[in-house]
Amino acid sequence: MTVLNPDTDAVLQTTYQKSVAAYWNNNPNDDRVNTKLGEVDGLYHHHYGIGEPDLSVLDGPQDTREKRIVEELHRLETAQAQLLLDHLGPVRPDQRLMDGGSGRGGTSFMANQRFGCQVDGVTISEYQVRFANEQAEQRGVADKVRFHFRNMLETGFEPGSMRGIWTNETTMYVDLFDLFREFSRLLEPGGRYVCITGCSNDVTGGRSSSVSWIDAHYGCMIHPRGEYFRAMAANNLVPIEVIDLTPDTIPYWELRTKSELATGVERPFLTAYQEGSFQYLLIAADKVGR
């Protein structure tokens, strides 16, 4: 049973936020996937993968087949995180980054290893905060990488304190206008925001049963693609690059159907991507003005 922090009511301000936090604090089925993949090298991700898988992992001895598939899925997820970090631009060791919806910290640790800078992870799951901070201690980077039980819509960090911010498959849990208002407040002038997300096709996504299935499974609110750009424009965030990663993520999902870790969500994802009602996007945007 989860013991709530005294600050819980200040962080989790709505019934919906409390339900999302409870899901990630207590859901053993989805966390089973993240846990098994994270055990490969100690980087625990809460997102999906991109790139061409090595399908030779499906061949060879049957008793090690699942291990090979898990390692390959983890490699593709780490490749996705590397691509996100590539788009943050130059970051100096004396600058600061924020991971919005940081999960158990995989990408935050990768960012610190790459840039040598301070990274603050923010999540509304108290379990994830504890797990990730323990990881930081074990890795010897707790002075640089810290995880906070805070709401990314209202972090409490100082205005202009962040050189860069990213979200990796977490924006579907929040209102985008509220989120980007807070991110614009936090970013220094010229600071960079990078988002990787699944989003619905503005024309057909609302009618897709597969998109509705994904929403229901994760208890989230998948946004139309156009909503991202409207919310950015309203909050002084100017997109400098937009990449459709849909073709790059489909092979990951196809491989995941071959794993014993498959949860049943694989087919709706594949159907939604293949029918065009759902897209996997990377958006990099710079803050303009103050």
User: How far apart are the C-alpha atoms of 69 and 54, rounded to whole Å?
Assistant: 9
User: How far apart are the C-alpha atoms of 240 and 174, rounded to whole Å?
Assistant: 23
**Residue 229: exposed, middle, or buried by beta-carbon count in 10 A (0-12, 13-18, 19+)?**
middle
User: How far apart are the C-alpha atoms of 196 and 171, rounded to whole Å?
Assistant: 9
pLDDT computed for residue 154 by the predictor = 95
Q: What are the residue boundaries of the structural domains of the chain, listed by start? A: 6-287
Task: Label residue 253 by pLDDT band (50, 70, 90).
Answer: very high
User: How far apart are the C-alpha atoms of 288 and 263, rounded to whole Å?
Assistant: 42
pLDDT digits (tens, 9 = 90+) for 43-99: 888 889 999 999 999 998 899 999 999 999 999 999 999 999 999 999 999 999 999
**What's 6-287's CATH class?**
alpha beta
- State mean pLDDT over 21-27: 82
Is pLDDT of 11 > 90?
Answer: yes
Is pLDDT of 4 > 50?
Answer: no
Contacts of 106 (CB under 8 A, 6+ apart): 38, 43, 44, 45, 46, 78, 81
- Express as a percent the part of the chain with pLDDT over 70: 96
pLDDT digits (tens, 9 = 90+) for 174-215: 999 999 999 999 999 999 999 999 999 998 767 789 999 999
What six digits make up the tokens of 269?
């994802």
The three-class DSSP label of residue 154 is strand
Q: Report CA-CA distances (Å) from 31 to 27, 35, 75.
A: 6, 6, 18
What six digits make up the tokens of 204?
């057909």
pLDDT computed for residue 27 by the predictor = 64
What backbone phi and psi angles, to 5 degrees, belong to 122? Answer: -125, 130
